Amino acid sequence: MSTIFGKIVDGEIPAHVVYEDETTLAFLDVNPLARGHTLVIPKVEYPRLTDVPPEEAADLYATIHRVVGAVQRAVDADGATVGFNDGAAAGQEVEHVHCHVVPRHAGDGGGPLHDVMGQAADVPDEEFGEIAEGIAAEL
């Protein structure tokens, strides 16, 4: 395995592991956005979300589901921002799928995921149908 996360899976470099099972691993982000910021990964080094096979995607979600609550309870958070940077254009730096679980506290100064683009896109109402059809056709 070639990325830093692969090396964590293989035990070549240390991490503060909070959960491990056959297919997934969760550990603290070394550069946390908040106390308790945790990453959840599939053990296999899939670069992009769409590369993860359905069974392992289900395993990944099951671990995310467990970790989100545990992280919040452990740091007494009021909520969590949970998400993936999928692809370099979206800010993904480590090419091994990883879900960020960032604990949130009321008044912590952070924004919602909607802040990621700065402002809403200017999409005309009449284009929504065509866009939805295009996505549906790809499913």
Q: Which residues bind ligand AMP (CB under 6 A)?
A: 4, 15, 29-31, 39, 85, 91-94
Does the active-site annotation cover 16?
no
Q: Residue 116 CB, nearest distance to ligand AMP (Å)?
A: 12
Q: Give the 3-state secondary structure of residue 83.
A: strand
Q: How far is the CB of 16 from ligand AMP (least distance, A)?
A: 8
Q: Which is nearer to ligand AMP, 91 or 134 (CB)?
A: 91
Q: Shortest Cβ distance from residue 4 to ligand AMP (Å)?
A: 5
One-letter identity of residue 107: G
State the catalytic residue, choosing from 16, 65, 98, 114.
Answer: 98
The region, left, alpha or beta by phi > 0 then psi within -120 to 50, assigned to residue 105 is beta
**Nearest of 104, 42, 113, 96 to residue 75 by alpha carbon:** 104
- Comparison of 27 and 56: residue with beta carbon closer to ligand AMP: 27
Please, which residues have CB within 8 angstroms of residue 70's CB and are 6 or more apart in sequence?
18, 19
The owner of tokens 């969590």 is: 80
Residue whose CB is less far from ligand AMP, 48 or 73: 48
Which residues are 104's β-sheet partners?
79
User: Which residues are tagged catalytic?
Assistant: 98
